[in-house]
Amino acid sequence: MASVPLLSVSGLVKRYGALLVTDDVSLTLAPGEALGILGPNGAGKTTLFNLIAGTVAPSAGTIMFAGADVTTLRARERCRRGIARSFQIPHPFVGMTIYENVLTGAAFGRGLTERAAQDRCIDVLERTGLIRKANALAGDLTLLERKRLELARALATEPSLLLLDEIAGGLTEAECQSLIGTIRDVRATGVSIIWIEHVVHALLAVVDRMTVLDFGRKIAEGDPQAIMASPEVASIYMGLEDHGGAHG
Amino acid sequence: MAPHVKIERGTRTSRIAGRLALVLLAALAAAPWWTGRANLRLLGEFYTFVALASLWNLLAGYAGLVSVGQQAFVGFGGYVLFAAAMFYGVPPLLAIVLAGVVGALIALPMAPLLFRLHGAYFAIGTWVAAEVFRLSFAQVSVLGGGSGTSLPARLVTGIAATRDQRDMLLYWCALALGLGTVAMIYALLRSRAGLALAAIRDSEIASESLGIDIFRTKLAIYVATAAVTSMVGALIFLQKLRISPDAAFSVNDWTAYVIFIVVIGGIGTIEGPIVGAIVFFLLRETLADLGTIYLVILGMVAIAVMLKAPRGLWGSFSHRTGIVLFPLRRRVVHPDAR
Ligand SMILES: Nc1ncnc2c1ncn2[C@@H]1O[C@H](COP(=O)(O)OP(=O)(O)O)[C@@H](O)[C@H]1O
Ligand SMILES: [Mg+2]
C-alpha cells in the first residue's frame, strides 16, 4: 500500500489464563479503506476489536493509529483520537432518549459543548434514520433501531476509524439492505471501516478487502471474492451462511 | 444539516411548579415574621436534612457510590468550623465556607483509596474512614477530646448580638444551603456531567468507549459532595453551638436517617429526598415521644414503602403519572421527530 496506514497492528497477542484468544495477529488499514473480518464464533473477532478500541489490554504486540503508538492508551483516549466502535450486543444507555445517547458520543468523544454538539447530533440521527425516534427512550427500541443507535452513537464521535461488530446480525433482509445503504454512505464520507460480519453478502457490498480469523489466528487475507472462493473459508463456513444472523 | 432544530428542557408542569416554588420560597424566607423560634429551628433542621439527603442521593442514586460514611464530612465540617472560629478567629459564617474548602481537600486523597473498593466493600470502607475521623478527633484535647466542646459565648454573640437575630441568620443560612444544594444538584444533572453520570449508570463499557472519563467523573462527584456535606455539617453544629465526636460522626443521625429519607422519598430522583425529608419530619414530630416505638415505626414504614413502592413515594408517583418537577430530559423539536 502506497499511503501511510491509518491503523497498523503488529504481533498482537491476547491470553485469558491458558486460553490464547488472539494469536500473533498483524494487520494494516489504509485511510478510507474498508476491511471485512470473517471467522467462526469464538475465533477472537470481538476480542480483536476490544484490543484495537482499548477495552482490553493486549498480552503482547503494538497498535499504531494515525502515526502514533496507542497500545497503552485507554479506550476513552483512543475514542478522542478517532477510533469508534459498535458493540456486538448493543449497549444502549437505556435511561436516556436516542438523542441523548448520540449527544453523549458527540459531547465526550469529541469534547464538544452541548450547543456545539446539537446540530451534529441531529445530522447523525437523520443519516442513520433515527430522527423520528429522537425522543424515544433507548430502552424501548426494536433490534434494528438498537443497531442503528450503536452506529449513530459511534458516528457522533466523528471517528476516522469505525469498528462494526456484527451490526447486521439478526436483521431481516430488508432491514439489512437499508443498513448497508447507511454504512455505504458513511464510507463515502471518508471514514475507514473494519466490519466483523457473518452476513457475507452485506460485507461484500461494502468492503475492499477481507481477513479470516480462526482460533485467534489470521488464516487468510485478500480480495473479497478470492477469499470467499478460498478453501480455508469454504471449510470454516460450510453451512454458516444459511444462518447468517448467528451471534458469536 | 437541520437549521430549525430546538432542544426543549422544561415541561408545562415544571414551569408551573417553578412559579409555585418561588411563592413557597418567598413564604419560607419570611418565616421569621410568621412563626416562632421553635418552628424556625425545626425548619432550619429540616433544610439541613434536605441538603444531606439530596447529597447522598447524588452520590448513591446517580453516581452509584453507596457510601455509609458521609458522617465523616458532617463531623469534619463541624470541627473545622469550631477550630477555625476558636483558634483562628474566623467569623463562624465564613467558617462554613472554609469547611467546604477543607472538606474537598480531605476528600481528594481519600477518593482514590476508596474507589479501589466496590459495592459493599466501598460502603464498609467509607464507614471505616468515618470511624477513623471520630477516633482522631476524640484525641484532640484542645477541642475537648472525647467529651467535646461548646462554642465560647463571645463567639456566639459575635454571630449576631441578640438571640432572635442569631436564630434568623442561622435560619436563612440553612434555607440558603438547602436550596443551594438542590439547585446545584439540579444544574449538575442537567449539564454534561449529568449526561456522563447517566451513561456510566447504564453501561460503563460503552461510556468508556465514547470518551467518558469514569474515574474523574466519580471523583468530581465524590469531592463536590464531600465539600457541601462539610458545609452542612458546619452549619448543623453552629446551630447546636456544641460538638462532640459521638454527635459529629454519628452514623445514625447523618447516614441511617438520611438513607431512610432517600429510600422513602425515591432514590435517583431530585424530588425524592425532599418528599422523604417531609415524611421523616412529620413522623418524628408526631411520634418521637413514643421513644423506642418510634424507631420500630420508622423501620415498619421503610419496609412497607420498599414492598409497596420500591421506587419510593415520589418515584412511584412520578412513574405512574409521568409528573416530574425537575425535568432533566432533552426534547428534540424537529418536524420529523415525535
Ligand atoms: N473476558 C474474557 N475472559 C475469558 N475468556 C474470554 C473473554 N472474552 C472472550 N473470551 C474467549 O475468547 C474467545 C474468543 O471470543 P470472542 O473474541 O468474543 O470471539 P468472536 O467474537 O470471534 O465470536 C472465546 O473462546 C471466548 O470465550
Ligand atoms: Mg464476537
User: Given a cut of 80, is residue A240 above it in pLDDT?
Assistant: no
User: Given a cut of 50, is residue B241 above it in pLDDT?
Assistant: yes
CA of A9 to the centre of ligand 1 (A): 19
C-alpha cell belonging to residue B310: 420500591
User: Given a cut of 80, is residue B105 above it in pLDDT?
Assistant: yes
When CB atoms are compared, the residue of A75, A93, A136 closest to B208 is: A75
C-alpha cell belonging to residue A230: 478460498
Residue nearest to atom 25 of ligand 1 (CA): A42
Tens digits of residue pLDDT in A185-200: 999 999 999 999 999 9
Q: Which residues of B128-155 are buried (b: 16+ CB within 10 A; e: fewer)?
A: ebbeebbeebbeeeebbeeebbebeeeb
Contact status, residue B150 vs residue B21, Cβ threshold 8 Å = no
φ and ψ of A169, to 5 deg = -65, 135
Return d(Cα A125, Cα A121) in angstroms, integer. 6
Burial of A237 (0-12, 13-18, 19+ CB in 10 A): middle
Question: At the fourth CATH level, which superfamily is domain A1-82+163-185+193-248?
Answer: P-loop containing nucleotide triphosphate hydrolases (3.40.50.300)
- Per mean pLDDT, which range of B89-98, B152-161, B218-227 is the poorest? B152-161
pLDDT of residue A114: 92
User: Given a cut of 70, is residue A84 above it in pLDDT?
Assistant: yes
CA B285 to chain centroid, in Å, comes to 21
Instruction: Give the end-to-end CA distance of chain A in Å, rounded to a whole number.
Output: 32
Tens digits of residue pLDDT in B113-126: 999 999 899 999 99
pLDDT of residue A232: 79
Give all strands (DSSP E) within B143-224, no chain letters: 149-150
pLDDT of residue B161: 87
pLDDT of residue B128: 97
Chain B residue numbers touching A134 (CB-CB < 8 A): 332, 334, 337
Among A80, A83, A93, most B C-beta atoms within 10 A, so best to mutate, is: A93
A44 lines ligand 1 (CB under 6 A): yes
Return d(Cα A172, Cα B2) in angstroms, integer. 30
pLDDT of residue A4: 87
Report the chain A residue with the minimal C-alpha distance to residue B214: A76
Residue nearest to atom 26 of ligand 1 (CA): A42
Chain A residue numbers touching B206 (CB-CB < 8 A): 87, 91-93, 153
C-alpha cell belonging to residue B141: 484535647
Burial of B221 (0-12, 13-18, 19+ CB in 10 A): buried
Average pLDDT, chain A: 92
Q: Which atom of ligand 1 is nearest to the CA of A48?
A: 17
pLDDT of residue A245: 41
pLDDT of residue A238: 62
Report the chain B residue with the minimal C-alpha distance to residue A88: B206
The percentage of chain A sitting over the pLDDT mark of 90, rounded to a whole number, equals 87
Rounded average pLDDT over B70-96: 97
Return d(Cα A163, Cα A206) in angstroms, integer. 14
Return d(Cα A180, Cα A174) in angstroms, integer. 10
Q: How confident is the model at residue A1 (pLDDT cuts 50, 70, 90)?
A: very low
Domain ranges of chain A: 1-82+163-185+193-248, 96-158
Give all strands (DSSP E) within B225-286, no chain letters: 242-243
Going A138 to A140 to A143 to A144, the CA torsion angle's sign is negative
Q: How confident is the model at residue A33 (pLDDT cuts 50, 70, 90)?
A: very high
Tens digits of residue pLDDT in A102-141: 999 999 999 999 999 999 999 999 999 999 999 999 999 9
Residue nearest to atom 1 of ligand 1 (CA): A16
Return d(Cα A160, Cα A90) in angstroms, integer. 21
pLDDT of residue A136: 96
C-alpha cell belonging to residue A202: 452485506
User: Given a cut of 60, is residue A2 above it in pLDDT?
Assistant: no
Return d(Cα B71, Cα B230) in angstroms, integer. 9
Q: How many other C-beta atoms can be found within 10 angstroms of the C-beta atom of residue B189? A: 17
The ipTM value here is 0.91
Give all strands (DSSP E) within chain B, no chain letters: 6-8, 149-150, 242-243, 331-333
Tell me the three state secondary structure of residue A90: coil
Q: How many other C-beta atoms can be found within 10 angstroms of the C-beta atom of residue A116? A: 12
Shortest-distance ligand to the CA of residue A215: 1
* Residues of chain B that touch chain A, judged by Cβ-Cβ distance less than 8 Å: 1-2, 5, 7, 192, 195-196, 198-199, 201-203, 205-213, 329-332, 334, 336-338
Q: How confident is the model at residue B290 (pLDDT cuts 50, 70, 90)?
A: confident
pLDDT of residue A142: 92
Average pLDDT, chain B: 95
Tell me the three state secondary structure of residue A182: helix
A41 lines ligand 1 (CB under 6 A): yes
A3 touches chain B (CB under 8 A): no
pTM of full prediction above 0.90? yes
Tens digits of residue pLDDT in B134-151: 999 999 999 999 999 999
Q: How confident is the model at residue A235 (pLDDT cuts 50, 70, 90)?
A: confident
The C-alpha cell 447523618 sits at B254
A91 touches chain B (CB under 8 A): yes
Return d(Cα A190, Cα A52) in angstroms, integer. 20
A65 touches chain B (CB under 8 A): no
A16 lines ligand 1 (CB under 6 A): yes
Report the DSSP beta bridge partners of residue B182: none
Quote the minimal CA–CA distance from B216 to chain A in Å. 12
A47 lines ligand 1 (CB under 6 A): yes
CA A143 to chain centroid, in Å, comes to 17
Report the DSSP beta bridge partners of residue A193: A34, A162
Contact status, residue A10 vs residue A62, Cβ threshold 8 Å = yes
Report the DSSP beta bridge partners of residue A35: A194, A209
Return d(Cα A48, Cα B232) in angstroms, integer. 50
Contact status, residue B70 vs residue B52, Cβ threshold 8 Å = yes
